[in-house]
Amino acid sequence: MKTSEIRDLIDFISKSGLNEVDIETKELKLHVKREPDQKVFKSSPVIAPVAATAPVATSAPVVQQAAQTPATQPKAAAEAPASGKKTIEIKSPMIGTFYRSSNPDTPPFVSVGDKVSKGQTVCIIEAMKLFNEIESEVSGTIVKAPVENSSPVEYDQVLFVVEPD
């Protein structure tokens, strides 16, 4: 299950009035629960690894994943004019810690002015001790990188601005 599908499920639950949903497949066990009167915020989902047989007891909206899914991909935002040219934003698909490289001794995946291709890893976001490679969904040139290395990021926060080819 992709991060966008999990977000859609959480949004659906918050709008529908449902309080609890369980989904289980071979690769994934998903349990979402919220208190009936609790407000759900778009940036509030928490993703946590859990054993397949672990009991879940929580009052906050929580998404629990039994298996690590393939690297999540950011959502390309609507095109917005910047200095007369169209750009696309690569946004964070989750809350976590942003890293420009795989470790402190290696160069960053991408920098301002670099060409990126669709599917190329642009950064890593650590969430709950899981390191998620974030891939570009567009080919182009990085024109802006507003997030500092090792900084916390919010869901849907702009990580990079790309000028498409």
Please tell me whether residues 47 and 115 are part of one structural domain: no
What value does the mean pLDDT take over residues 60-80?
43
- Number of domains into which the chain is organized: 2
For residue 4, give the 3-state DSSP assignment: helix
Confidence class for position 162, pLDDT limits 50, 70, 90: very high
Please tell me whether residues 51 and 100 are part of one structural domain: no
Return the pLDDT at 156.
93
Return the pLDDT at 25.
74
Please tell me whether residues 147 and 88 are part of one structural domain: yes
User: Would 71 be classed as within a structural domain?
Assistant: no
Report the percentage of the chain scoring pLDDT > 90: 46
Return the pLDDT at 137.
92
Please tell me whether residues 49 and 85 are part of one structural domain: no
Please tell me whether residues 152 and 101 are part of one structural domain: yes
Domain boundary among 13, 42, 65: 65
What value does the mean pLDDT take over residues 129-134?
93
The enclosing domain of 159 has a CATH number of 2.40.50.100
Please measure the distance between the N-terminal and C-terminal CA atoms of the chain and give it in whole angstroms: 30
Return the pLDDT at 35.
63
Please identify which residue in the block is written with the tokens 């054993």.
51
The whole domain housing 32 covers: 3-65
pLDDT at 21 over 80: no
Q: How many CB atoms lie within 10 A of CB 20?
A: 10
